[in-house]
A = this chain, B = another copy of it.
Amino acid sequence: MTTQPTPEDKFTFGLWTVGWPARDPFGDATRPAVDMVESVHKLAEMGAYGVTFHDDDVFPFGSDTAARDNHVKRFRAALDETGLVVPMVTTNLFTHPVFKEGGLTANDRDVRRFALRKVMRNMDLAAELGAQTYVLWGGREGTEVDMAKDLIAALDRYAEAIDTLAQYSEDRGYGLRFALEPKPNEPRGDIFLPTVGHAIAFISKLQHADLVGINPETGHEQMSNLNFTHGIAEAIWLGKLFHIDLNGQHGPKFDQDLVFGHGDLLQAFSTVDLLENGAPGGGPVYDGPRHFDYKPLRTENIDGVWESALANMELYLSLREKSKAFRADPEVQEALEAARVAELSRPTLNDGESYDQLLADRSAFEDYDLDRARTQGYGFARLQRLAIEHLLGVR
């Protein structure tokens, strides 16, 4: 592909992605863990903008302050050498067995207190490194046995935890925004806040609702066979798309974390189109990092790791170019017009019209020309054909 990624493209990677040692539920690690310093350098060379991390990615679980500081020092040096930034940080509340029954919503209150402390500790580091966004993925918050959990109290505790953390960020002047990451299942049988929608609904009841949004992940929504582009559109509409995790997934199965676009390529196209160009009728566009949360295939050695990292960025850039060409194509514009896409931006009621006026408008109901409406074609087949021609580069 011709386009080279640059920091202006705002591509970021989790340290845990390229660093994944490729252990899976049925197999041992196939690669050594990549040292974070190597990852930072290599990603910088390839044109990335930044990196992100869980506490345990930078310093081992249980590190005391001195050990932690040493690891952080090495990490900062790599950042300084490369110019990579850290726009987002998160906490690992899932690997250690202490979290086997949950972190912020564990039945065991002491586990919850420990979890809160673990998050606060890494928020300090996030602020120190200049992060703007703090992600919370509650992978262990959920159930396999519904009768063993008070589902209402769990949400109370979840809210208590997030409001406490938000208050902490405010009081300390960290200025962090929080982004909840939904996932329907795995590792738990059913995870709380399973989709983009459930997470945003939950946020609406928080005291610090303004500081909290979401970090949707392509594959997590597709694990429920939901349309990811629709999901982020609703999040944008609600002002809650605080961060985004891009990757690939082949429908409802285990979490594949494929390279972005290597699952549903057509939907990846509409995702990039929305992120880069906004809705056809205008409105807010996402301008945060394009964050890849993927896993290099377990069959690959270190060369395949970097190959796949690059593939994420290159595919995104290709889709961006194609989406811009699609929007600019006069035939597409004509087809959008024929499909009356822009008409949806016109309010249903006239400017200043009351429902009484609508009720009085016989052309709206009593005299409405149903025949015309039911026989008209919308020309969506043509639009889809044009979109695919642009995607495949055959126009």
Q: Chain A, 146-168, contact with B by CB distance < 8 Å: what is the 0/1 string?
A: 11111111111100110010011
**What separation, in Å, do the CA atoms of A386 and B122 have in the docked complex?**
40
Q: Chain A, 203-244, contact with B by CB distance < 8 Å: what is the 0/1 string?
A: 011000000000000000011111101110110111010000
Is there contact, CB below 8 Å, between A98 and B378? no
A355 and B225 contact, Cβ closer than 8 Å, known pairs A112-B348, A378-B101: no
**What separation, in Å, do the CA atoms of A143 and B298 have in the docked complex?**
11
Count contacts on A: residues with CB < 8 A to the other chain.
Answer: 177
Is there contact, CB below 8 Å, between A151 and B229? yes
Does any Cβ of B come within 8 Å of A132's Cβ?
A: no
**What separation, in Å, do the CA atoms of A392 and B322 have in the docked complex?**
9
Is there contact, CB below 8 Å, between A184 and B381? no
- Chain B, residue nearest A201 (CB): B200
**What separation, in Å, do the CA atoms of A100 and B385 have in the docked complex?**
20
Does any Cβ of B come within 8 Å of A190's Cβ?
A: yes
- Chain B, residue nearest A250 (CB): B189
Q: How far is the CB of A212 from chain B (nearest CB, A)?
A: 12
Does any Cβ of B come within 8 Å of A35's Cβ?
A: no
Is there contact, CB below 8 Å, between B389 and A392? no
Q: What copy number does this chain have within its complex?
A: 4
Out of B230, B238, B322, B377, name the residue touching A299 (CB < 8 Å).
B377
Is there contact, CB below 8 Å, between A226 and B184? yes
**What separation, in Å, do the CA atoms of A146 and B376 have in the docked complex?**
20
Does any Cβ of B come within 8 Å of A383's Cβ?
A: yes
Is there contact, CB below 8 Å, between A194 and B226? yes
Is there contact, CB below 8 Å, between B344 and A205? no
Does any Cβ of B come within 8 Å of A315's Cβ?
A: yes
Q: How far is the CB of A336 from chain B (nearest CB, A)?
A: 8
- Chain B, residue nearest A369 (CB): B110
Q: How far is the CB of A116 from chain B (nearest CB, A)?
A: 6
Interface centre among A231, A326, A342 (most CB of B within 10 A): A231
Is there contact, CB below 8 Å, between B148 and A383? yes
- Chain B, residue nearest A267 (CB): B146
Is there contact, CB below 8 Å, between A94 and B378? no
List chain B residues, Cβ under 8 A from A82. Answer: none
**What separation, in Å, do the CA atoms of A3 and B274 have in the docked complex?**
30
A341 and B113 contact, Cβ closer than 8 Å, known pairs A153-B279, A385-B311: no
Does any Cβ of B come within 8 Å of A109's Cβ?
A: yes
Is there contact, CB below 8 Å, between B30 and A100? yes
List chain B residues, Cβ under 8 A from A200. Answer: 197-198, 201, 204
Is there contact, CB below 8 Å, between B145 and A300? no
List chain B residues, Cβ under 8 A from A29. Answer: 97
Does any Cβ of B come within 8 Å of A186's Cβ?
A: yes
Is there contact, CB below 8 Å, between B379 and A205? no
Is there contact, CB below 8 Å, between B253 and A149? no
Q: How far is the CB of A60 from chain B (nearest CB, A)?
A: 12
**What separation, in Å, do the CA atoms of A129 and B60 have in the docked complex?**
45
Is there contact, CB below 8 Å, between A253 and B225? yes
Q: Chain A, 297-317, contact with B by CB distance < 8 Å: what is the 0/1 string?
A: 111111111011011001100
List chain B residues, Cβ under 8 A from A251. Answer: 222, 225, 251-252
- Chain B, residue nearest A273 (CB): B147
A114 and B373 contact, Cβ closer than 8 Å, known pairs A151-B229, A152-B236: yes
A204 and B204 contact, Cβ closer than 8 Å, known pairs A195-B197, A250-B189, A280-B150: yes
Q: How far is the CB of A381 from chain B (nearest CB, A)?
A: 4
**What separation, in Å, do the CA atoms of A370 and B325 have in the docked complex?**
50
Q: Which 5 A-B pairs have the closest CB atoms?
A: A393-B393, A301-B377, A197-B198, A197-B197, A151-B233
Q: A299-B378, A301-B377 are in contact. List 8 more A-B contacts (CB 8 A).
A: A108-B343, A109-B346, A189-B250, A192-B230, A195-B195, A198-B200, A299-B377, A304-B379
